[in-house]
Amino acid sequence: MTIHREGYKSIAIAALIFMVINLVMFWALGTTMLWLCIAFFIITLGLVLFIVSFFRIPARKFTLGENQLICPADGKVVVIEEVFDEEYFKDKRLQVSVFMSPANVHVNRNPISGEVVYSQYHKGKYLVAWNPKSSTENERHSVVIRKGNQEILVKQIAGAVAKRIINYLEVGQKVQQAEEMGFIKFGSRVDLLLPLDTKLNVKLNEVVKGGVTVIGSLA
């Protein structure tokens, strides 16, 4: 397991605050309320370790397939439905949404190999990630990857807690399946907008892994 580069600053700040607060606690109360200092140390250490774990990148063997769509994020499938896309396609698409809790790995990965033909950041609200309106009203970053004559849209969506979306892709860039496309800090969701004839391999409420679980296959 390694630590994602997006976490270096957050972990350093958390560790510094942890050290300063605990030094002050032990200096001020160490002789009279040692038990409280120890309890506070354990609780704050747990918080620091949680922040470290949030930025983890576990070692994985990725699933790669020519016509397969690989899950872009860890989490749980919370939406499978037909929707009308107002942003890019201007027609009906099959939407698959993966909700990421703060405990999940938050690296986002390319579901297919291809060329980036659209990349757009949108300011917005911070509704809870499972709210259906979060797909169109929340802060989000949308990317379209073209493979042959097929295009899929991947949408990183901020939630009530997650308020920083990082996306590394640019229009014209060639990308490889399962490579990093971005990162969302502290819980949110990722939507996939797929062709209607996509053959799905996942079900509602299924737990999935980014870069590993096969979402479906392109026709």
Q: Which helix (H) or strand (E) holds 19?
A: helix 8-29
Mean pLDDT, the chain, integer: 90
Q: Give me the catalytic one of 101, 113, 188, 217.
A: 188
Residues 6+ apart with CB under 8 A from 87: 120, 136, 142, 153
Residue 148's CB is within 10 A of a number of other CB atoms, namely: 9
* Per-residue pLDDT tens over the stretch 160-185: 665 678 999 999 999 999 999 999 87
Average pLDDT over residues 72-99: 95
Confidence of residue 66 (pLDDT cuts 50, 70, 90): confident
Q: Cα separation of 119 and 1, whole Å? A: 30
What pLDDT is attached to residue 187? Answer: 66
Q: What is the pLDDT of residues 28-40, one digit of tens each?
A: 887 888 999 999 9
Percent of the residues in the chain that have a pLDDT greater than 70, as a whole number:
91
Residue carrying structure tokens 């576990």 = 58
SS3 79: strand
pLDDT (0 to 100) of residue 32 = 85
**pLDDT confidence tier of residue 124, bands split at 50, 70 and 90:** confident
Of 156, 200, 163, nearest to 180 by C-alpha is 156
For position 217, what pLDDT does the model report?
94
135 catalytic? Reply is no
